[in-house]
Each structure stands twice: as structure tokens, then as C-alpha cells.
Amino acid sequence: MPKVKPIYLDYAAATPLDPTVERVILKYTKVFGNPSSLHGFGQAAKAILDQSRTKIGRVLNCRPEELVFTGSGTEADNLAILGAARAEGKGHIITTQIEHHAILRACEQLEREGFGVTYLPVDGNGFIKPEQVVAAIRPNTILISIGYANNEIGTIQPIKEISKALHQLKTINCKLKTVLHSDASAAAGYLNLNIQELGVDLLTINAAKIYGPKGVGCLFVRRGVELAPIIFGGDQEGGRRAGTESPALIAGLTEALTISEKKRVRESARQTKLRDWLIAELLKIPGTRLNGDAKLRLPNNINISLKGMDGERLVLDLDHAGIAVSTGSACTAQETGRSYVLKAMEAPKDWGNLRVTLGRETSEAELKYFLVALKKLSPR
């Protein structure tokens, strides 16, 4: 098999920086003033933040003041979970067994603080049903956190339906204070982010997943939702997140999200076609199974298990062949064996796992090269 340039098929872990985004970041690195300062240098920096809130607000269909800039998607998740819970002081939280560790470990911390947490099980394809969520709600349920789409298996959750069911319940019981959070880090660039249609109260965005810079994220906080800060210092971000903001990184996040939204429909259709072709070809390999639903998944996600194979070994062997894939979330890359997501889905034991995620630069030729390389590594 002829050697080609390295092939990147791990876009769910991190995306390359879009050239336009890079130019925007470089442009605004020259704006060095502190956005909280009253002089002209500071106000020039603040103007970038204000413009960014307005532009992101147009994408999400929300008010600019409902946006809080953070240092990452993880921080945005932590602020949503810890902030909303601690603002209430006590109560019950609902999440799922397959959420990102930024959610799960924040919930574990709240358990240590005396909050009750229900971790909903998923079905064999990784789905949560709205009726499951409703059945788990208690009079003291203060927060529900369910990811819009799972970054490991690509499962798209019925967030609109869950939101509708929650609002119907709150109409019946006006004393219910439950707010709904969804991590849209994996969904951005592929799924509809219109806040009014989704009906969520809190939404996480991560620039590193949408061809933007690492080290910056955003949390939508619906007006009226109280958050206790988790970082202490100044009164930046409306007193919800202390720390001097980076106009350059925030401008980069804004440009990345704007570009992703413009390309969303076209890129989703293109990558879905490639995804479905690759899944069909992979399933022709004996002892191969698809993890997650074949259709109700992110356009760029392919997650497979291979009987009798070691996933970590496959990742290393494919890397040696010039192909970058993963076994799951980069945040859990040091774990071995079945991931916690596959365990929750009761995927078979002793099967090696691969996550292949596509991006804007992915071509059919690259996928064909990957397929040939994988077949060479398979003993069947």
C-alpha cells in the first residue's frame, strides 16, 4: 500500500484551526487592553466582546447578555452543573450514564456536597427516552443535564422532546424549578443550535470542536437562571465568571461558530454520505459491529467494535500507517478496555473499539486508504 500524507480521522477530539479564524485571532491579539478598563484601550477590547456576544446570539437565537465566555467546554459544563446546583443550595439532579466526564465528575462532586444525583441508563444504541427523564423527576429536581449528541458513539438525544415534556410538567406543577442543560460541544456545526427551538436553559459550546482555538468556550444561560460562580475574583461576565477575558480567543470562537453554522447543512450532507458508505464497508468485515444507531447519529461519527481485536493496539498500528483514529473520547484516552459509554450500552466484552470521526477535509480517498489499512490489520 503506497504511503500517503498523514490522514486525520479524529475530528471529535480536536479540529484544526480554520485559516479565516486564525487570521481573526492574529488580528485581535493586537488589542491588548483589559476589557474591564474604562480607558480607550480597554473599551476597544470590550467592543470585541460585545460584538462577539451579538454575533453568537444571532447563531443561537438568544440575547447577547445570556452568553458567558469561559476557558473551555469543560469549564462551561462545570459552571452549568456546579453553578446551577449551588445557586439552589440543595436538591436533586438528573443526568445519564454516558455523559462527558466534565458532566459526570461535576455531578460526583455535588454528591459529595449532599446533592442527590440520578444517572439514567441508556438503551443498546445509547438513547434516552423523554419518558425516562420525566419518570426520574422529583419535586426537588433542580437540574437535568443531557448531552445533545454523544462525542464517542454519535448518538443524538431527543433534547427538544425532553424540553417539551419538562415544560409541560412545569405547567402542571408551577413549584418545579428544574432547569435543562445540554452540552452541544459535539453537536455544533452539525445540528440545529436554535435555543428557542431546543428549549434548553443552559447550553455549552466548545471552540476546539468547531475549527476554533483551544482554551475558550461559551455557556448560554437563559435569563432568570441563577448561577453561583465557580471561579472567584473580579466581576467579569456579569459576575458569573471571574478572570480577564481574551478578546482574540473569543473573536476566534465567534468566527468559528459563524463559519460552522454557514457550512452546517452542506457539510452535514457530505459527511453523512461518507459516513454511511464507510459504515457499510466496515460491516462487511467479519466480526465487526456498529455501536449506536445507524442513522440517528452525528454525520461525522463512525464507532465500531471488532471481535478479538485490541482497540488500543489498532490505534497505534494505524498511527504507524499514517492514520489518526481513536478508541473514544480524548479525555479518557489513557483508559483501557471497554469505555464507560460502551459498558453502559452493554456492548460485548473483549471486542476492540475504534472511533472514526470525519471533518471538512475528509475525502473518500482517505477513507478508502483507512479501510485497506484496517483490513490488513484484521486477522480474518
Rounded-to-integer distance, Cα 116 and Cα 108, Å:
10
The answer to whether the beta carbons of residues 250 and 49 sit under 8 Å apart is yes
Report how far Cα 156 is from the mean position of its chain's Cα atoms. Answer: 11
Report how far Cα 92 is from the mean position of its chain's Cα atoms. Answer: 23
Question: Buried b / exposed e across 231-248, counting CB within 10 Å, b at 16+?
Answer: beeeebbeebbeeebbbb
Longest pairwise C-alpha distance within the chain: 69
Rg (CA), the chain: 21
Find the angle CA(164)-CA(169)-CA(174) to the nearest 5 degrees.
125
Q: Which of 72, 65, 34, 32 shows the shortest CA–CA distance to 50?
A: 65
Active-site annotation holds for 331:
yes
Contacts of 338 (CB under 8 A, 6+ apart): 347, 349, 351, 353
Sole residue written with cell 445519564:
96
Q: Indicate which residue of 62, 107, 218, 331 is catalytic.
A: 331
- Which three-class secondary structure state does DSSP give residue 63? coil
Q: What is the dihedral of CA 244, 211, 330, 304, to 10 degrees?
A: 160
Judging by beta carbons within 10 Å of its beta carbon (0-12, 13-18, 19+), is residue 71 exposed, middle or buried? middle
Q: How far are the Cα atoms of 10, 322, 324 from residue 6, in angstroms, in the given order? A: 12, 5, 8
- So which residues are the catalytic ones? 331
